[in-house]
Structure 1
Amino acid sequence: MTKIQKRALTLLVGSQLLIMLGIGLIIPVEPYIKDDMGLTATDMGIMAALFAAVQFVASPIIGKISDKFARVPLIAAGLFFFAVSEAVFAFGIGNALWLLNLARALGGLAAALSIPSITALAADMTTNDNRARVIGWLSASFSGGIILGPGIGGVLANINHTLPFVGSAVLGATAFLIFMIFMPKDEDLRVKNIAETTQSQTKTIRNFWTVALVMLLLMIFVASFGLSAFENMFSLYFHDVRGFNLTEIAWFLVINGAVSLFFQVILFEKLVMLVGELMVIRISFMAGFVAILWILFSQSKWEVFIATLIIFVGFDILRPAITTMLSKIDNEQQGFINGLNMSLTSVGNIIGPVLGGVLLDINSFLPYSFVAVILVIASVLTFTVKFKPA
């Protein structure tokens, strides 16, 4: 990669890390916002679903726009709306549920503007030979933000429940300014010439909906239900069912974040080279299923700790593996493909948290039993995919 591409990659990784950090901040604070404001688990699930609903509608539209025009301005807009959403959420805590819901909707718009465009721009900057490494870094920032965010949020929330979101808003505004000043233009970053893209448009449209693409998207659609139910309800399960306190949840997430980052940054590319993306996906699903069963039958906090660590690490390897496979299907419509990826993930994120909250209100074991069934279905789907890069 050239120096200008390396600078751009640093800004992309930093931007995605910050946005996912903001998304993750809420997770350890959820039980306390729920208790302080007298909310139900279903209310918390709906709040998370609003984020996903906006992301679902906006992601493919914005992805298509980024393919036709430019990706960098959309990423900048995402950073701006991120800062606004975090500020609104901080103000809404203890005041009104509708403000919290508004903030999550704005956060969904910020994610839709930035995340598909960031991944698509990374694909523009790379070839098949070095793409897994770059996607690994981006995925590390994605999952690292989600996992480290709750750890940081838990520590700051011990001081004040609004402090994590105030700090995130300030960081978001700062990142927006830095990005606007130092980020190169799209045309300075692309590996492939624009003329080649125009020349191949007819072929791209005709061959876009391949069997491999459809099956990968279906896999994302099915898996997102289980993953979102687990990720959004896990802190409530830890706190309400297993008796973890805020500090224990925060430390778990910090340790888990460090392990996941190690796997994504150091081991992911090696795993892909050794067994391929599809086998990595299959192993992640199967390991998650076994770990869910372990949690359901576990008797101690340490068992829950280790099993949950296995699940999170599996999820964090799963995401870049699917993204890398998608990036090799069609080089000319990466914005649209990543928009579809985020949109279908959002469908699961809309229903998963709500269903998880309802199931948790009924019985503490139902959400994880639901996730186990979903992981079995997703594992079976991996055997239907036959993949050849574009």
Structure 2
Amino acid sequence: MIDDKAEAKRIAEELAELKYRQRKKNEILSKGYYKIAVNYYKKKQYKEAVSEFQKALGFDPSNSKAAKYLKKSHEKLEKNRAKMHRDLIREERKRDTEMAKTMRMTEEEGAQLKARRERELKDKVKMPSEAALMRDQLLEESHELYDNGNYRAAEEALNMALEYAPFDEELIYYREKTRNTIVERKVKHMSMAKSLEEMTRLAEVDEATVPTSGQGMEERYGDRRASSAKRVGAQSATAKQEEVQKVSSDRENLKDRLKERIAEIDFTDASIKDVIKFLVDLTGLNFVMDEGAMPNAERKISVSLRDMPISELLDIVLYPAQLDYDVKDNYILVASAARIEQGDMVVKVYDVQDLVGTVKDYPAEQFDTSVTSSKNKSSLK
């Protein structure tokens, strides 16, 4: 009898634990869909917002914020429908009035009016909307800015264009291309900074190894050039060292963020890109996806994990599509495993002009060339 009670108590505790975990899981998913829905609401895409708020409430009916925004979204939709209905009635009345006037006109006048209306309708259909005009104008402006090397302004122009056409694939493609260019230029700048730091370090080593007596640096290069090289090298080394220390600190902070644990995540038949987007909304981390990784990021996966660091979760999600990630100074780059393994190319340039001695013109015997006519062969004498 005692064993039965203990078993019943154990089962009850397990059920309570399962319910608690399920509730926590639902709360996390509800918050994720709530954030997505709020973004739709701010963009005045109320129909999509209603769908996402309903998903959030489906996982957590006690989510009062989602319920509040769902009510507001319904109200906005009703207002839009009412406005469309009023506009439709107004157009119908206007059309009826014009039709009545047409009936009172002669047959010839009515035919002329009808022809004019048809021409106006055709012109109206051909004429693009104001939003489409703004979209095209901003896209063209972004191309000009990009070609001139003003990538930040080009990205801003594309962001403004996306406000008029939020799901335009062409705009999204060029914005991602521009962002990748910005990131690549930043990485290149960092690589050049590291190269300059290495050159400064080599200059300091060279200076330390030159003997103080005999033919020293001043005798080899001249007093003015030597003192200038020392001063510029010291200033450059100090500035670059501070920059490298700052970048290293930012990168370490980002690596620490990746050690944070996510309570639970559950996706069924979702694309890797959607999972990354969910992580962005949930953690606030910056992710940049390489252009070459876009096709693989569309791959569908099903994953259900709990209490796991973000770094391990990324390994599990990206591995099936042969993708990987790399921690940069203030963002996480998602690219193909081959590119991540290859790493960043660093070009180092060393100025050795001052180290090259003068090549003397040594005397030598004269020589001439002749062609043997019999065998048509050249020879040196």
What TM-score do the two structures reach when normalised by structure 1?
0.24
Q: Tell me which protein shows more helix as a share of its residues.
A: 1
Q: Structure with the greater relative contact order (CA < 8 A, sep ≥ 6): 1 or 2?
A: 1
* Greater fraction of residues in strand: 2
| Larger Rg computed on CA atoms | 2
